Structure 1
Amino acid sequence: MKRDKIIFYIATGLLSVIVLFSVYMYVFKHEAIVGAFTSLGYPPYLIYPYAGLKLLGLFAVWNPNFKALKEWAYSGFFFAFVLAFFAHIMVNDGGHMTAALALVFLIVSYIFNKRINK
């Protein structure tokens, strides 16, 4: 059980670092992100709401009291990372590895969250 908690906290911590870095970029490097979103084919008005949803998703993943909300957050992150992976592949800008890494951390976090909360 202790090993499972350690793996959960490491995976979720690394996932959080990736997500918080992207939120930081969305807010403080807005012009660069507008260019990235435009090159990926997304409208730039999605940047701030997307940053807010990522923060809410992290809150739900870390909070043990909201079990149903946590499932939705994991689901939302899953779809966001899969779509980001394929969007970066389509424009061939090299950003797909971060999305793939985030997806791996997300899956490990989800599996070990289930194991420690049986």
Structure 2
Amino acid sequence: MLEFYGYWISTALLSVLYLASAAIYATRRDWVRQALTKLGFTAPFLIPFMIVIKVLGPVAILSRISVPLSDLAYAGIFFHLLLSGLAHIGVRKPAGALPAAIGLALLITSFMTQNDARDMPSPYIRAAMR
């Protein structure tokens, strides 16, 4: 039962983190563009792409239309959070990596407990437990 609540709480918080980030990207484009420039990213197409990804990732996990699609969303979010945290550390702003670290903790909790809360199990959990 603890795993059930752990899954839903961590998944809800991760989704809120990502959807809030997407809202910031959509409403404060100039500020986000400046922040990305400070991290060394100057691609103008990155912001609209990230808005879509930050919405579709949690939708794929929460809706669980397809287990492989959900697991792919977990992988994508994992790499995004990892690279985001490393980008902040790379420019010597470790405080900026804190949301990514929190997101990684939520993501790992959600991923590892998903089979306890969902009807369709992910085959990758068994492989990760070995």
Same fold (TM over 0.5): yes
Short-chain TM bin = over 0.9
Runs of 4+ in 1 over 2 A off after TM superposition: 114-118
Q: Check whether the contact 1:38–1:44 (CA below 8 A) recurs between aligned residues.
A: no
- Runs of 5+ unmatched residues, structure 1: none
5 Å-filtered alignment, 1:35-114, equals 35-42=34-41, 43-93=43-93, 94-114=95-115
C-alpha separation in 1, matches of 2:106 and 2:61: 12
TM-score by length of 2: 0.84
Code of the residue aligned with 2:107 in structure 1: it is L
User: How far off its partner does 1:54 sit?
Assistant: 1.5
Q: Check whether the contact 1:37–1:44 (CA below 8 A) recurs between aligned residues.
A: no
- Runs of 5+ unmatched residues, structure 2: 122-130
User: How far off its partner does 1:40 sit?
Assistant: 1.0
For these two proteins, the number of residue pairs brought into alignment is 117
C-alpha separation in 2, matches of 1:44 and 1:35: 11
C-alpha separation in 2, matches of 1:59 and 1:28: 20
User: How far off its partner does 1:17 sit?
Assistant: 1.4
C-alpha separation in 1, matches of 2:27 and 2:21: 10
Give the RMSD, CA atoms, in angstroms: 1.2
Q: Secondary structure at the match of 1:44?
A: coil
Which residue of 2 is the match for residue 21 of structure 1?
Answer: 20
